[in-house]
Amino acid sequence: MRTQTVSSAVDWRTIAALNAVSAIAQVGQYGMVFVMLPLWLVEQHGNSVQVGMFGAALWLGLLGGVAIAPRLNRSCGERPVVLTGLLTTVGALLMLWHLGSSVLYPVGLLSGAGLGLRWIGLEPWLYRIAPAQAHGRLVGFHEMLVGLAPVVAPLTGTVAGVTDVPLRLGILFSAAASVPLLLARRERSARGSMASRSRVATERSIDSHYALGRAIALAGGAIDAAFASLFPLFAHARGLDTRWIAVLLSVFGLGGLFCQYVLGWLADRYGLERVTVSCAGVTALLTLLLTLPLDSIPINLTMFVLGGSITGFLTLATIAATSPRAGARDGELGAVAMLFTIGGVVGPPVAGEMMELFGNPALVWQTVGLAAGLCAYALVPRSRSQRTH
């Protein structure tokens, strides 16, 4: 009887509504803006510096949104923060549609901020009301929905082309996400206990597990953002047309969607350090393969696995931040999100400048260098952990 009472108290309507908001909004705010607008910019004859700076503007705006959202959550409540994030992206894309590339970088900042506000406004709300006995399953289901965005968005480019389609669909999906938000019930406050846990958690020292998680987040953010922003330019220089690039981006997104559960299972079975070394090594090796003349099947397989490994850096950083072995300190996930975003701010402009100076393969060398550095760093906490057990 007690189990039934607890189960009946779960607000499934709000859980379903917030999952729908995330799934729809992610297509508009991330898929159309972060994935497809760089490709749109290439079609508008943008060069590597412009594409890289636009990618940096997106991630810098995201960093700002992530930074201010917790304070806005406390002062205004989560629902207004989520709605503000959605409307910010809609307004930014309308500016770009009507004013053109003269407002490109402000649009990047505003679009990124909109995504950050919606992300940090929604996910803490969702996970606080999740039933404890099904928390992991709900998180996994939510991440699967979010992972659909970098698959759906390039597919639309494959079917409909990229001329103005990212702008129109970005506006449509971002606006449509506000509809299920209306179905979410206002949450009963649980901030007192969370604040207490946070105060206790801040008294704990950060061990090598947390340090590795932060390193993964910083390097992974730089790799992910640079690759997503500049791969269209890299592929275009190698003779691929925009539709074929859109197909490869879809395959990349499918890898990110389907490989994350596998990475989590491997981390549980073999340890975070070993999986990080493997993931970074695979990223470096497969990125090098992109410099070779590959046929259709090999390049699609390469992009699929790269999608899993590059997207997997955030998954591994999140595992480190929430690991029971390391104490699951509240606030560490926020630190990982900030560092991942900082990496995303720095990665694209550095890669863009290097590509301008040394040619398009510079994107490969930056990715390989960061992945190799992370691989080497991951071996340090692993060996230390082995000595202490």
Residue 175 and residue 57 share a domain: yes
Residue 249 and residue 162 share a domain: no
* Residue range(s) defining the domain that contains residue 284: 205-389
Contact present, 52 and 351 (Cβ < 8 Å): yes
Residue 346 and residue 227 share a domain: yes
DSSP code per residue over 73-95: HHHH-HHHHHHHHHHHHHHHHHH
Domain boundary among 167, 182, 197: 182
Which pLDDT does position 132 carry in this prediction? 56
Which pLDDT does position 261 carry in this prediction? 75
Which pLDDT does position 133 carry in this prediction? 58
Average per-residue pLDDT for the chain: 81
- Residue 6, in any domain of the structure: no
Residue 319 and residue 225 share a domain: yes
Residue 134 and residue 233 share a domain: no
- Residue 192, in any domain of the structure: no
- Residue 380, in any domain of the structure: yes
Residue 156 sits in a domain whose CATH number is: 1.20.1250.20
At residue 12's C-alpha, the angle toward residues 9 and 14, to 5°, is 110
Which pLDDT does position 187 carry in this prediction? 61
- Residue 115, in any domain of the structure: yes
241: CB partners within 8 A, 6+ apart: none
Residue 234 and residue 171 share a domain: no
Which pLDDT does position 197 carry in this prediction? 45
What's the total number of domains in the chain? 2
Which pLDDT does position 175 carry in this prediction? 96
- Residue 196, in any domain of the structure: no
Residue 112 and residue 78 share a domain: yes
Please give the chain's pLDDT, 389 residues, in tens: 444 444 457 888 999 999 999 999 999 999 999 888 888 887 777 777 788 888 889 988 988 998 888 888 889 998 999 999 999 999 999 998 888 777 889 999 999 999 999 988 887 787 677 665 554 456 557 777 888 887 788 788 777 766 777 888 999 999 999 999 999 987 654 444 444 444 444 444 346 778 898 999 999 999 998 998 889 889 888 888 888 888 898 899 888 888 877 887 788 778 888 989 999 999 999 999 998 888 888 999 999 999 999 988 988 887 777 664 544 454 566 678 889 988 888 898 899 889 988 888 899 999 999 999 999 999 875 444 444 34
Which pLDDT does position 332 carry in this prediction? 67
List the one residue out of 334, 335, 333, 337 whose CA is nearest residue 319: 333
Q: Of all helices (H) and strands (E), which one includes residue 187?
A: none
Which pLDDT does position 9 carry in this prediction? 78
DSSP code per residue over 133-165: GGHHHHHHHHHHHHTTHHHHHHHHHHHH-SSSH
Which pLDDT does position 329 carry in this prediction? 52
Which pLDDT does position 111 carry in this prediction? 95
Contact present, 308 and 256 (Cβ < 8 Å): yes
- Residue 194, in any domain of the structure: no
Which pLDDT does position 196 carry in this prediction? 41
Which pLDDT does position 188 carry in this prediction? 53
Which pLDDT does position 127 carry in this prediction? 67
Residue 158 and residue 261 share a domain: no
Residue 282 and residue 156 share a domain: no
Residue 157 and residue 247 share a domain: no
Which pLDDT does position 176 carry in this prediction? 96
Which pLDDT does position 189 carry in this prediction? 47
Residue 143 and residue 110 share a domain: yes
- Residue 4, in any domain of the structure: no
Residue 74 and residue 215 share a domain: no
Q: Enter the pTM of the model.
A: 0.70
Half-sphere exposure in the Cβ direction for 131 (13 Å, CA): 15
- Residue 3, in any domain of the structure: no
